[in-house]
Amino acid sequence: MSSEVKRTAGGALLLDGMQLRDETVAKIKATITAAGNPKICLATVLIGDDPPSHIYVANKHKKAQEAGMVSKGLQLPADATQAQVEKAVSELVADKSVHGILVQLPLPKHINTEAVLALLPVEKDVDGLTERSLGRLVRDLPGHVPCTPLGVVRILQRYNIETVGKRVVVIGRSALVGLPQMLLLVRRGADATVTVAHKSTKDMIEVCREADIIIAAAGAARMVTAAHVKPGATVIDVGVTRINNKIVGDVDFDAVQAIAGAITPMPGGTGPMTIACLLENTLEAARMQGAI
């Protein structure tokens, strides 16, 4: 690893997602420059006034532009109808200059999310969230992988954390993170033995203590304590909870870093890599559509 290795106060390897994101953005920019600077376009659809969503989307546009991409933002009011949302997405689908489309979730409660996502063709679904994209992941066919689970894999790869033959516990079973994370880690190449734990899992501490790698994606603030972690294990924090306007992860970082062999910070770990992998997917989307 060429860049400086960072460690926590307790000596654990700090898995720096911001550093890796910046490396990824630089690589994508170099690839686009080498290809003659084709106009690779990422479009986002944002509905309503949810402040965190606005921050997330702004960060995505900023990093896309840093990577040498064109970014296009479409914003609709919170009271937009199903027909208006579907029309907006359909127009982006038909626009040949747009290579990747991200519909920022969650959508307002009156909008049928599945109907909106179903409009996205596989090649433009850079969030990897449609049933066709997830089906391709299950079948190990070409397509886009959900950005957060892919970001976790990139962190493990970047810091040379072995998965072959290792025991991994993924806490959380959402279609957004937990289930695709399991699929990525059990397929050939990663070859891990994966347990998916959730709120009905009995003896959660004992289950986690058997893991070489814990990936916490339950959205439950500081649920993973020192008691859950065997000495030297790798701990990846995906969960995000806002408490008093501060972001808190699923891992009790201060306690766990003294025991873990490697750990992601929160913020600054998996979040930046989610954006990096969105751009990685957008570059691949452009390739799939013959733009690069």
Query: Could you give the residue numbers annotated as active site?
Result: 60, 104, 127
Instruction: Report how far apart, in Å, the C-alpha atoms of 88 and of each of 91, 93, 246, 260 are.
Output: 5, 9, 33, 46
Please spell the DSSP secondary structure of 177-188, one letter per residue. THHHHHHHHHST
Q: What's the one-letter identity of residue 238?
A: V
- Give the span between the Cα atoms of 109 and 51, in whole angstroms: 16
Distances (CA, A) of 246 to 105, 164, 221, 238, 242: 20, 36, 11, 15, 5
